[in-house]
Structure 1
């Protein structure tokens, strides 16, 4: 098997040279080369964690059982396909390796679109997705106990400069959103996503404003502007989308709902708060008839003081 580490470094360097040149065509090439190199670097981490094993038994994507001659089975690699990003992440966990705390999903999505369709977003968003993942290279090389400055000597200065520039801009945007008086906890704002280009560089147009009900947003990658309600929806999505995902898997109600008052998809009900992040109205309370909790998912605007069951019962009585 060819030296995966050397191939990884070559792909990353080629990608960074394309990235540094900066034209649209070269940026598309940068995504292909850089992403391929990033995955190869991760695979090298797995291989070095079990140096006595056959590399394909570590990074192979498909296996099938074969009799071992003693009544049991062994598993043999099928074909030459190697692990994709999700499998790579899973095997890091099984090997006891630390997975970088980096949002690589945007770059993966852009790369897949380039492979199968075309890039629908502005090239600037692709550039941001690449720059946002640079710390992943550093983490992988740290796992490999390789010096990034030596390994990536020709492009190391570019990686440092772009990482610092992106981090400064992202921090400025996040700080402007955290400054607002949201009615509940906000977090994970590095996951916020522009509806036009997918960028995470969403911040307030007025960086000094502290009133969430007077906040207007802007994407500092493509220039798309957002009114107050849209900004609240994006903040809520970034802060609670993971909780919503787990709730859906467990068959529970999502912590994110449509506000009965302003119709923004910004109402949060998670056991700690029950309030709209856009208009700050709440429907929480006790049913005046039975004392049960009133939740946003069961709220009936025609009977605001009743739980869903009592509202249904009263409505049935009225029809009779």
Structure 2
């Protein structure tokens, strides 16, 4: 067993042991140890995928070019920083490895809060974030061809029990949304986040309701109930927050916008979709002056038939 893999197993075991106590202070330690163990497992997956290579050349985060004496350069590791979560995902793809589908963005966010500031959410949300990521850990062990039950024997039952409990409640919550009729398909509701505690265990209050404009929801972690306006904004955020993050990294506009008709943050503009998930109004059209397309970013509420630029020019000419 390599030192890195041994450290990964130890970190996960210590994290789960802290997790078992259900103590708020120990839960903070659980997040640090468990998250560190996950990243170490992922790094071990990369290293075993290229067994003849120097590990530092695989998991090093920064490299610099050095002249090789023959007119070319070679890239050598710079410093001791290793790859972070985002870089790991990218290198998994480069190495032909499948990155687990489990979303650990919340766990990553909570862990970063602990490292740099303080945890803003209650420890119960942290507990859920850890439990919901157990499947990622198991998938990493699968890639490595290792048996997690043997390696984590002392805490394995806790892992199974917590994962089963979380999966059962989450499946029940997701089922509560199935009857709702939407203009476009709604996905990623497992990313719903309670505004009070951050839990994803959010269900529709009236499970028989089919109307999207009547939805209200309840958190099964803290019991918080959200009215229709907040509920539908939560749905839109869950469905498109990943796209918003990726588009922001590319310097693009967010797909989630404030609807000029109902005023909720439920207008979605993706190129394929241009309408409000709440009131179903759409500003999509063609500018009567220049012929360019109008979307939510080019829409002028005072001149609905014009794009924002032509509306500006019209107002400028009128004021002269």
TM value normalised by structure 1: 0.88
Q: Does the residue aligned with 2:176 lie in a helix, a strand or coil? A: helix
Number of aligned residue pairs: 320
Q: Give the superposed CA RMSD.
A: 2.6
Residue 313 of structure 1, CA deviation: 6.2
Q: Over residues 281-302 of structure 1, what are the superposed CA-to-partner deviations in whole Å (9 max), with x where a residue is unaligned? A: 3344566788765533333444
Instruction: Kindly indicate whether residue 223 of structure 2 is the aligned counterpart of residue 223 of structure 1.
Output: yes
In structure 2, C-alpha distance between the alignment counterparts of 1:283 and 1:66, rounded to whole Å: 55
Q: Does the residue aligned with 1:75 lie in a helix, a strand or coil? A: strand
Residues 107 and 130, structure 1, Cα contact 8 Å, conserved in 2? yes
Give structure 1 stretches of 5+ with no counterpart.
Answer: none
In structure 2, C-alpha distance between the alignment counterparts of 1:242 and 1:143, rounded to whole Å: 26
In structure 2, C-alpha distance between the alignment counterparts of 1:225 and 1:138, rounded to whole Å: 34
Residue 182 of structure 1, CA deviation: 2.0
Q: Over residues 101-145 of structure 1, what are the superposed CA-to-partner deviations in whole Å (9 max), with x where a residue is unaligned? A: 111121111112112221110000100110111011111111101
Q: Over residues 245-278 of structure 1, what are the superposed CA-to-partner deviations in whole Å (9 max), with x where a residue is unaligned? A: 4555566554322111210010123344433212
1:270 aligns to what? 270
Q: Over residues 67-99 of structure 1, what are the superposed CA-to-partner deviations in whole Å (9 max), with x where a residue is unaligned? A: 333333333333433222222222222222111
| Larger deviation, residues 301-310 vs 94-103 | 301-310
1:117 aligns to what? 117
1:41 aligns to what? 41
| Larger deviation, residues 97-106 vs 289-298 | 289-298
Residues 64 and 75, structure 1, Cα contact 8 Å, conserved in 2? yes
2:56 aligns to what? 56
The correspondence of residues 250-269 of structure 1 with structure 2, limited to 5 A, is 253-269=253-269
Give structure 2 stretches of 5+ with no counterpart.
Answer: none
TM value normalised by structure 2: 0.88
Q: Does the residue aligned with 2:275 lie in a helix, a strand or coil? A: strand
2:234 aligns to what? 234
2:177 aligns to what? 177
2:130 aligns to what? 130
Q: Does the residue aligned with 1:279 lie in a helix, a strand or coil? A: coil
The correspondence of residues 11-26 of structure 1 with structure 2, limited to 5 A, is 11-26=11-26
In structure 2, C-alpha distance between the alignment counterparts of 1:23 and 1:5, rounded to whole Å: 28
Residue 233 of structure 1, CA deviation: 1.2
1:73 aligns to what? 73
